[in-house]
A and B are shown apart, each in its own frame.
Chain A
């Protein structure tokens, strides 16, 4: 094709002489895009001087599926099933952000039973997400058995999700002003049983990992962060809390029914990888506390109760109609016990014109859904603010000047999910 016959010579890179008089060069290593430790498709262009990282540039976008454009081209209901794929490890949170934005814009009533169901599923999801992080993080450090321990508990919770939603990962369970279906009969007891066993399992993990000398060597003092660093890069979630900043939206700006349960926000002091590990383990214990309280406080209790009440009301209505009695005396269903506040016809659903930014605390940090509606059946704009996106941007800052072998503990401790970065 080209007329020039000269082949370009390899550029000569001037080397630097070492003390021994040997010529040495920086080495550019491409980590990824396909690499088991990057938990997705991430490319890191790394410049190494020996084993020390001199420069690092993350390249993202390999998993970009135009989720935001899809939100503008599909109707609100059609878009819902695809939200699960924004962040597949804790997709209840994405659904909650999207659904609350629309509920607030169009003033839909949400019964308290629904909010409790949402809070329980979200907190269970936080545990599954942290468990998967726990397993893979230690796998990055070279320990394979914690993954099997973590998946044992994760499996039990995922079975609970399957009973409720019919799916193991892509739940698509929340609806505008309600949830898709009520909890199965007996689910609350089953859930309580699983959740009560969890702290014992966490003790077991901690017995293996928390005081393990290899883990301590590789995590204490590694990847240190300060509050200023985190704010400079917009880092939130457990990574920010490991520096001692008590910022948890569940506590500071309570949404759903988080103000009705009692829990603590675990904080770190040093901001290193070990603190991030400890915070996530403690957060799982706090989630267990939240779920235990919520299962006791949920309005209506077990679904069998609700069904029984419905039956009684139907029976009373039938009798009243037969005998021609005053209809005002018929007992009514408690509005808190319903699973749908207001009937919404999803096929022709048009929220009012308006906008909302629903921010919530996902397992990884701030999750935001900025939604603008112009009153038509499709959104004008859906913007996802994933916590992983900002959390990943701090990686070069953490790595430059550090040893290359520390990359995996540091990157693992940020708990980045690449689909959420690329959306």
Chain B
């Protein structure tokens, strides 16, 4: 088993090691730009095929809520996307009809073109997890997304963290303040444009 897999891998590895041996500084420089187009071409290719609607996506559709089915993630967790307009309606349906009673986490992702909140929900009765993704709306250079606080109060600190680190304003959150960074911190450090040479860090590192 190990011998076989080693054999399969060996030609690629050899090529890599040869590349490195030939021009170690160049190899890295070439690799980085080479990796980026590959990723960017892979993404649009992945989007077109329509994903199969999952159990909870179907349930939402039947209730007349517009859903984008995103298939399953690598762990087999169903993922759906809702618009900011439909989020609260969808969340209420998920809590009342699909028994998602535990909000596990609220993550925020910066895709450079837009920012997204990802809610992971858990149902104690069904032992199932669901990911609900919401793209934030951009108005006057700021990102806005409705807060699910009325449905799951457990999102309180999680949404505060997303606001603090990613700058998504959750509308309807009762206490949207910074939670991990100091109150007078400048900028939102988890954004992709916030790098180590950011001028705002000069003020922050006082």
The residues of A with any CB-CB pair to B shorter than 8 Å are: 60-61, 64, 66, 68-69, 72, 100-101, 104-105, 231-234, 236, 245, 247, 252-253, 332-333, 335, 338, 340-343, 345, 348, 350, 353-359, 366, 368, 370, 372, 374-377, 380-381, 383, 385, 389-390, 393, 422-423
Within 8 A of A (CB), among B77-95: 77
- What 5 A-B pairs are tightest by C-beta distance, nearest first? A234-B154, A104-B74, A385-B105, A356-B74, A61-B180
Within 8 A of A (CB), among B103-134: 103-105, 107, 109-111, 118, 120, 122, 124, 127, 129, 131
Q: Is the pair A69, B107 in contact by a Cβ cutoff of 8 Å? A: no
B residues less than 8 Å from A376 (CB atoms): 35-36, 39
CB distance from A82 to the nearest CB of B (A): 16
Other than the known A356-B75, A423-B180, what 13 A-B pairs have Cβ atoms closer than 8 Å?
A: A61-B180, A100-B75, A104-B75, A233-B153, A234-B103, A234-B152, A345-B9, A357-B75, A357-B77, A370-B107, A377-B35, A385-B104, A390-B158
Q: Is the pair B104, A381 in contact by a Cβ cutoff of 8 Å? A: no
Q: Using an 8 Å CB-CB cutoff, how does the interface string of B9-25 with A read, 1 for contact, 0 for none?
A: 10001001000000000
Q: Is the pair B74, A375 in contact by a Cβ cutoff of 8 Å? A: no
A residues less than 8 Å from B39 (CB atoms): 353, 374-376
Q: Is the pair A245, B109 in contact by a Cβ cutoff of 8 Å? A: no
- B1's closest neighbor in chain A, by CB? A335
Given A234-B102, A234-B154, answer yes or no on A61-B5 (Cβ-Cβ < 8 Å).
Answer: no
Q: Is the pair A231, B102 in contact by a Cβ cutoff of 8 Å? A: yes
CB distance from B64 to the nearest CB of A (A): 27
Given A101-B75, A366-B104, answer yes or no on A61-B181 (Cβ-Cβ < 8 Å).
Answer: yes
Within 8 A of A (CB), among B42-83: 42-43, 46, 73-75, 77
Q: Is the pair B165, A68 in contact by a Cβ cutoff of 8 Å? A: yes
CA A345 – CA B14 in complex, angstroms? 11
- A66's closest neighbor in chain B, by CB? B189
A residues less than 8 Å from B5 (CB atoms): 341-343
A residues less than 8 Å from B161 (CB atoms): 389
Q: Is the pair B104, A247 in contact by a Cβ cutoff of 8 Å? A: no
CA A56 – CA B172 in complex, angstroms? 23
A-B contact count (CB 8 A): 129
* 6 CB < 8 A contacts A-B: A64-B181, A253-B129, A335-B2, A356-B73, A370-B107, A375-B35
Q: Using an 8 Å CB-CB cutoff, how does the interface string of B162-173 with A read, 1 for contact, 0 for none?
A: 000100000000
A residues less than 8 Å from B105 (CB atoms): 368, 370, 383, 385
CA A369 – CA B118 in complex, angstroms? 13
CA A333 – CA B154 in complex, angstroms? 50
- B17's closest neighbor in chain A, by CB? A345
Q: Is the pair B35, A350 in contact by a Cβ cutoff of 8 Å? A: yes
Using a Cβ–Cβ cut-off of 8 Å, how many residues does chain B contribute to the interface with A?
52
B residues less than 8 Å from A354 (CB atoms): 73-74
Of the candidates B31, B122, B157, the one whose C-beta lies within 8 Å of that of A389 is B157
CA A359 – CA B74 in complex, angstroms? 12
- A394's closest neighbor in chain B, by CB? B154
Given A236-B102, A342-B5, answer yes or no on A357-B120 (Cβ-Cβ < 8 Å).
Answer: yes
Given A101-B75, A354-B73, A357-B129, answer yes or no on A380-B109 (Cβ-Cβ < 8 Å).
Answer: yes
Of the candidates A64, A66, A232, A356, the one whose C-beta lies within 8 Å of that of B154 is A232
A residues less than 8 Å from B73 (CB atoms): 354-357
Q: Is the pair B156, A393 in contact by a Cβ cutoff of 8 Å? A: yes
A residues less than 8 Å from B182 (CB atoms): 61
B residues less than 8 Å from A66 (CB atoms): 189
Of the candidates A333, A372, A383, A423, the one whose C-beta lies within 8 Å of that of B1 is A333
B residues less than 8 Å from A366 (CB atoms): 104, 122
B residues less than 8 Å from A232 (CB atoms): 153-154
- A390's closest neighbor in chain B, by CB? B154
A residues less than 8 Å from B127 (CB atoms): 252-253
Q: Is the pair A348, B16 in contact by a Cβ cutoff of 8 Å? A: yes
